[in-house]
Structure 1
């Protein structure tokens, strides 16, 4: 393997990426007309620009200095028009700190300011995505290169989209919908580009990973998803593992303006390749009701600890177990998360409140509790957001307050 311009490659991958590598979701919906030549594929291509400014404040009791991070993410991309089923997409991200704030960017580099609380948004400019796509096979989409991958609710495979530097994957993916109401996704991944940036020692994961995700949505009240995720870590082989699971979800109607919401999920994690002493269960149960746009939902999530603690290294971890990000890595004794969520809108403002109660799977430790609050509103192409998290410790971690103010616009 070689590394060129921050993109790990195998054989001809660097050549493919350099030639502008498929479509973002927004572009895919528009590019229905095939270009008649390679020149037209380029000249009829589409440029996208996304700006996201965020201020993040963190006050953590066991860290001497509060973090104040003021960052701007600039995302520029280009998608060719499709030509004979082929497409090319390239996307660059730049994260810049503005305003002179100080924070620990979690990179592990000497410049990380480790005496400050963590805000994992390091500065830098990188290739975020770069891939070729092919859609010439009926009901099938193919991509090769650096790309965003999100399966289901991103609990096991996601892009960590909340952070300014997104998580993406180098490899090959295929999606097929040939069977009615059925979607089959497969991915082979040889490198994971993590949120810490390519200069960080934590910046990527060298892997031989196979992901299979199969879903059937032919029932009005039920979607069935089965998955197998086989992770072989080349740098930390003892942690290699496989996760096999089943997920059931649905939103059956109760009346004209109301419906139930439910999710049931079970997975088992065990040894894979050179993995050692890995064995743990994952369980999820959610039940809620939506009435005229107001949603009340309660849930229980278990990341067990049998031979080891259940881990989700490719997940969008921020979306689960509290926005204070205390449980991005599952504690050795596992994690039980009881939570209740209330969401809706008022005068066009999206509102959400979530309360978590955390405890250990093994033993009787009570980790703590957390309150998360969010308000967001769109003004045309501009989205404004305010978000707050307060974690109160009991027998693990330290009391933490986090506040975010964000503005985003896409062209």
Structure 2
């Protein structure tokens, strides 16, 4: 059981300038868990227990200066960067300690184009101040995106160039170039279809000692009928020369099952076939926002013909006043990787 407090303030001026400062602290109320999934001489490293990567921690989460106008935004300092669906760059907000970046970022709208460019010198990880060299990873990180929308279809091209200084993470230095498209299409009076597709190519970059060039692809279709959403999808993280596509800056928990068995892509790559049902109980006034979901994943390798396993995930959430309550369950059945794993979460979040 852990408790997190995140608090801060923001000062805004009519000119468009703003200053934001935010800290967060995590306390292990019941600390019989292993906070670090790597070897380190620290009292929070408890390998006799299951790993829950929410170490006790106090840190400066964000400290940023921003200028915003109708057509452009510039942000300098320690900041949250969450791009698109956060498959490549995200805040890892499921963890108690959020991932942020020491960066300068510019966003602009020029005619039909949306442009986004960022340079970061440090990735502040979820592991916090007691994680030794894994507290943050320094390097030269370039994040570029350009997109446009035509009717119901939005298309974005992106390039992510990650060059890590830290020898522990040099194998994650990579260059990724790709495109992502999304669309929302009306199917009937009360039915709509949400579509998303992405493809990319990743290869070694900077100080990466490996040499590889692997493909990424994802397709997802969701049919929304009033409060019911039915989703099906497929994701490929390819492999080449014994090296698979990696996404070290992503918000990883929403992808490839909530049991978090694939935070690092296996060397033989990953294929994830999934389907889900989600329902929002809009008529239950006593529990605003009441919703439930059920999902299934089948995990195979991208090369070698392996079947890693299957997973069932379920969730239930609702609000009570200022409190948001969430229960989640993940059940991974191992075949040719890892071991059977079950996880249960109960979460209460208060916002003021």
Range of TM-score over shorter length: over 0.9
2:55 equivalent in structure 1: 122
* Structure 2 residue matching 1:217: 3-state secondary structure: strand
Matched, 1:198 2:198: no
Q: CA RMSD in A?
A: 1.4
Task: Report the CA distance between 1:238 and its aligned residue.
Answer: 5.0
1:83-129 CA-to-partner distances (Å, cap 9, x unmatched) read 5332110001010111x340000163431111111000000110000
Q: Is contact 1:151-1:213 (8 Å) kept?
A: no
- Structure 2 counterpart of 1:340, from 254, 266, 275: 275
Q: Which of 111, 120, 125 in structure 2 is aligned with 1:189?
A: 120
Give the alignment of 1:332-371 within 5 angstroms. Answer: 332-346=267-281, 347=284, 348-371=289-312
Q: Which residue matches 2:332?
A: 391
2:256 touches 2:262 (CA, 8 Å); kept in 1?
yes
Instruction: List gaps (5 residues or longer) in structure 2.
Output: none
Count of aligned positions: 338
Partner Cα separation in structure 1 for residue 77 and residue 3 of structure 2? 26
For the residues of structure 2 that align with 1:314 and 1:159, how far apart are their CA atoms? 8
Question: Which runs of no fewer than 5 residues in structure 1 stay unpaired?
Answer: 1-69
- 2:316 aligned with 1:375, yes or no? yes
TM-score by length of 2: 0.93
- Aligned residue runs from structure 1 range 82-231, under 5 A: 82=13, 84-98=15-29, 100-106=30-36, 108-111=40-43, 112-135=45-68, 138-180=70-112, 182-201=113-132, 202-220=134-152, 222-231=153-162
**TM value normalised by structure 1:** 0.80
The question of whether the paired residues in 1 share the 8 Å contact of 2:172 and 2:248 is answered with: no
Does 1:271 pair with 2:215?
no
The residue matched to 2:253 in structure 1 has which SS? helix
Higher relative contact order (CA 8 A, sep 6+): 1
Give the drift of 1:286.
1.1
Question: What corresponds to 2:231 in structure 1?
Answer: 297
In structure 2, distance between residues paired with 1:97 and 1:153: 30
Q: Does the alignment pair 1:72 with 2:3? A: yes
Cα distance, 1:251 vs structure 2: 1.3
Q: Shift of the alpha carbon at 1:378?
A: 1.5
